Structure 1
C-alpha cells in the first residue's frame, strides 16, 4: 500500500512539472542571457529563468548533477558530491563548514574539506547565501523566498517561513540572535531570534533588487542595490539614507570594513569606496569582473571573487590586485586568519592555509577525457581544468588520484599502456614514453611534422600490437613500428578526432569532413566520399567489413567495408560519441547526455540508463564486467560486479564508533553503508531479511581508524525490507534499509 502511494505521488508531481513546463513561452535560444533576475527584461535578451529552467524537468536536472548512487554495476568514486555551481560557503570553525549552490545542493565537511558529504534536500532552487552562528546553527537562503535552518552544523535542515516568494540573495548574522537578509524587489528581512522568525523592514526603495547586506554592529550597516545605489542605516534599519554612485551599473557585494571605511563592488567590476562612514562614496574604477562575494581577514587584507576575475586588497579595499589563480568563484570565507575556503562554478572547492597566498583544490573537478587501467588498481587519467591539461595516477582503482606535476610534457591529452610498465602519453606536439610504470617519462622522436602548423596535442593513441601503433593530433596521423621509440608522419589533414584499426593493415580515421581509409597500414589513405555525412567524431572496427562511425547524435554502420552506410536509428541524443576499447565484444559509445552499450559487436545497442545525463566522456574496459568511465566535473565511475570499497578520507578519528544510515534509502540494487571508527578495528557487516534470517555476509575485515564506506550490491535480492548489522571494536548496531526494484 505504501509503495502504491509513493508511486502515485511521484506521478502526480511529474504531471505537475509537465504542466508547468507546457505553460512556458517559447524563446529564441540564440538571444544573449540576462543573468540578473528581478529587473525588467532588456530588449533582445533572454531571461535567466527561461535559459536555465525552460523545457527542463528539474527533478531530472537535479538527478543528473548529483552523485550517482550505486546501481549494482556502476559506482561513483569521484567527486561523490553534486557536480554543480556552488554559490556560497560558511565555516563555523576551521574544519566544519557548509557550502550551497544550484539544484538545491548542500554539502558539508567536518575535517577541513578532506571529505565532503552530500546532504539530501527536496529543493531544486539555487541557494545563494549562507551564514552561521555559534552552537552549530547555520542558515541558508535562495530562490523563491527559501530560508532553511540547521541546528546541527548542516546535517539536517528545516524550512523557515519567509513571507515572500521573491529570490533571496544574501544574509548576515551579527550575533546568535540578530541578523538581516536581502533579496529581490527591495526585500529586507530582519530576525531577532536566531533566524526562526523574520520580519520585513522597509526602505524608500520598492522595486530594485538588494544584492548584499553588511552590518558592522546592531545599528550600522549597508545594503548593495541594483542600479548603482547604496543604502545606509545608523539605527538598526529603522531609517535609511540613499547614495547613487556614478552610473546605474549594479552593486553586487558590499563590506563595512571599519566604522569609517567600506567598499562596494559590482557589475563590470564597478568599484566604490567610502572613508567617512558612508556619508560620501567615491567611484574608483571598473575592475572588469562581475563580483559575487567579498571577505576580509582583517581591516586591511581582503578578497573579492567573481565570475570573470577575482582580486585581493591589502589597504582595506581602496586598491585591488587581480588574482589569476582564482577563477569563476562564487563564495569565499575565512574562519581564521590563515585558513580560507573558496567555492564556485563547476565544482570549485578550494582551500588556503596561508591567508590566501596559495589555493589548492579539495575536490578534483577536471573534465576527464581519457583513462587507462593496466589492472584493477593501477590507472591513469587525463583531465582538463581552467585551460590546463593534467595527468593523474591512481594505485587504488580510482578512489584517490595523484596529480603528476612532474610529467615533463605540455598539455597531456591522451594515455595508453601496453603493459604495467610500458606506456605513452600524447602531449602538445610530442609523444612521451615510460618503461618503468610512469616513474619517469622520455620524449620520443617524431619525423615529418611541421611545427609551424601548430597542430596541437596528440589526442588519440592506438596500438594494434606492442610494436605497431598510431597517434593523431588536429592535423597529423603518425605511426610507430618500433614500440613507440620513433614516429613518422603518414597524413596531414585537418580536424582529426578518431582512429581505429582492425588489424595492422586496415584502418579508418575521422577528420573534419569525410572519413579516410587505409588497407596498407597507413602508407596511403583514401578519402571515403560516399559517407553520407560530414563532421564525424569517432570510428570503431569489428573487422575490415563491419565498422561504425559516430557524429553528433548519429551512429552509422557499414557491413561491406564502407561501400554502404546505414543509420542506427535507436542510438541518438549522445552528443558527439566516442567508442570505448573493445573487450570480449563489449563496446561503449559515450559522450554527452547518453551512453550506449553493445555486447554483440554492435549488432544491438541499448542505452545504459544508469548513466543518463551523467555526461560521460569515455569508457575504458578491462574486461566485459570491469572498467572505468570518466566525464565532466571530476566524474569517475567504476564498472564492477562486486563490492566496491570507498574508504580512507583522512577524517579525524571520532571519539566513539559511529554508524550512518545507508544512502540512498530506499535503494535500487545498490546502496552505501558508512561508518566511522575511533581506532583500528575488525569490522563485520551482515545482511538479514525482515524476519532476521541471514541473507549474506558483506565484509569481514580490518579497517584503520576514520571514515569508511562500503557499497552493498543487491542484484540477487528481491524487493523488501532488509537489516544490516555492523559489529566490531566491542560495538554492534542494526539498521533497516528498503530495497525497491
Structure 2
C-alpha cells in the first residue's frame, strides 16, 4: 500500500563527479595533430599545453573543454617537447626537430603562450628532444639534443639567462654517446637532474646510459647498478620521471629492442635500479612517455608505441610499483595508438590526458581518463532532471544507484549522481514505481501498482525491461536482498500476506513456505521492510510489525502500541526504530516496542542504518544518530519537497579512514540529496613510553577542516622533520624540524591558509621516512 510520504537513503564507500572520460577513455580533442609532449600549469591544473609535430602549440584554460593554438612568434611548427617553470608558470619553453633550418631550436614564452621568441644562441645541435626548466628559476633551462647520424656535438646544453646564451653542460658524459633523449629536474631541488642517452652512433650499439647530476648539470655521473651494460643492449632511454611524493624514486623507460629494454625503477636516487617486467616485451615496443600518478609512489603510467606491430601500444599502468602491469586502454583509446605524452589535471576530479601521435588522423589527438574526486563531506543537492515524485532509491556500488518515481520514471547514475539518466519506460510504460531493488550496476527490479502489481527486471542498465512477476489485486510494497536471497512483500491477497523470495536474482519468485494470514483488513507500506542476515521485518497499518529470525521459515509479530502505522523499520543489533507521527524503539530485537520522542515534527519516514548510525526523515529534514540510536540531531534540511525514500550502503576498511558513508535521499518534487562522509575510528598507542620502532601515524580527524593532529613515534634520539606537500609535490608547510628524544609525540597542523584538497605529510628521522595522505575540506 502506498504511503503518503516515504524515504530511502544510501551509504557508499566513494562517490564520483562526472566528466567526459569518467573511468573510461574518451576522445578529448583531435585536430589531426601528432601530440609529442605536454605540460600542466602547476598552480592551476585546468591550464595545459601540448606540442604537436604538425601544428605547434595548443593550450586549454578549462581542463580540455576547449583547445586553441598559441603559435604567435613561432616560425617552425614541428614541436616535439615542452616544459614549464613551476615557480612562474607563465614561462614555458618548447623544442623542435632539426628540419626547420634556422627556424628550428628552442622557443620561449613569458606570457603563458600569447607570444613566443626563438632563444637558441650558441647551440650547434638542432634537434631538441627534451627540455627541463628549473622549478625555482625560469631563466635556468637544460635541453637534450640528438644527431641521427653520429654523436651530437654537445648533447646537453644549459642556459642561465632565459635562453639568451647556451653552453655545453656535459662534463662526465661519455664522448662516444652524447645523443641525449631525456632530461628531468627534481621538482624540489633544481640541482638534481637525470639524463638519458640514445645509442652510440654510427652503428646503433649499446648500451644507452643514465646519468645524474647533483650540481645543476655542471658534472654528471653515470649510473650503472642494475641497468643494461652490454653493447648489444641497444635500447635508448626515451623518458624518465620523478615521483612527486618521494623524489628519490625515479622511473626510466627504455625502448625494447632486446630483452634488456623496458621499465627501470630506482627507489634510492639512482644508486640501484631494477627492471619492472610486465609491459609487452616484444621487440619494437617503444615506451615514449612515463610518469607517476601525482601523490603516488607506486602508480605509474607509460605510453607505448610499436615499430614492428600494429598493436601493443596505448597506455599501460602499474599500481604496485611495477610488480605487475596491465593494459589500461579502453573506450576510445585503442592499443593501436602510439602515446607520446601523459599529463595530469589534479584540480577537482583527477584526469589523465594522453597524447597520441599515430600515422593517420584516426590514431591521433588528445584522450582523457577521469577518476572521481573525493566527494564533498556532508549533504549536497543533485539534479535529477525530473520534477515528478520520486518514491524509492537503491544503490549498488560506490557510484551507481537506481531511483523509481511516478509516471514510469526510473533514474540511474553510474557516476556518483553527477548525471542521472531516465532509463524507465519501455515495458514499464507510465505506471508509478513504488519499490526498487538494485541488484548490481546493471541489474535492477522495479514494481508498479496499483490495480494489478507488476515486477520488471533489467540486466543491461535499463536498456530493456522484462516482466518477471504479476499479481492480480496485489501491491508490492518493498524488495530487499540479504545474502543471495531476495525477499519481496506486498499487501495481503486472498486473506494471506503476499510474501515471495527469489534465489536467482529476480528471474523467478516463489512463495513456498512463506505464509502469514491476514488479520482483518491490514495492509503494508511501501519501503517499510528491513532485511539483514536471517532477520526480516516489515511494517503494517495494524499496530503490528511482522518479523522472522530464520529467513522466513517462521514468523511472529510485535505490537506497536501508540502508532497504528509502521512506515519503516531499521535495526542495529537489537536496537530498532519504527513508527509514523509517533515513533517507537525496541531494545530486544523487535520483540517489544515502546514510544520514544525523537527530534522534529510530523511523520517520521525511512529509518535506516549504516555502521553505528541511524537516520530518519521528517518533512524535508534528515536526522542522524552516530551512537546507535541514543541521541539524534538534525543533520540536513533539503531546500524543498518532502523526503520520500533513502537506501543505505555502508562499508568499512582496515585502512584509514576506516568507515565510509555516502547516501541519497529522494523527494516528492523530484529532488535528490546526496551525503558523504569518511570517518577514522581512532589510533591506539599500546606503548607510548617506549616505542618499538619509528612510526608516522595517520592524522586525526581525516578528512579535516583547518585543524588536525599528527602523532609520531621516535625510537632513538634524532632530528625529526615533518613536511606537508600538495598533490603536485610542492612543499606548503614544515610542522616539525627539531631534535627529538625517544617517545611518542603529537603535533597539531593548522591548514587555515590552504585550499581544500589532498595533501601529503612526510616524516624524515635519520634513515626512516614515511608518507601519509590527508584530505582538507572547507
Which structure has more helix as a fraction of its residues?
A: 1
Q: Which has the larger radius of gyration?
A: 2
TM-score, normalised with respect to structure 1: 0.37
Structure with the larger RCO, 1 or 2 (CA within 8 Å, 6+ apart): 2
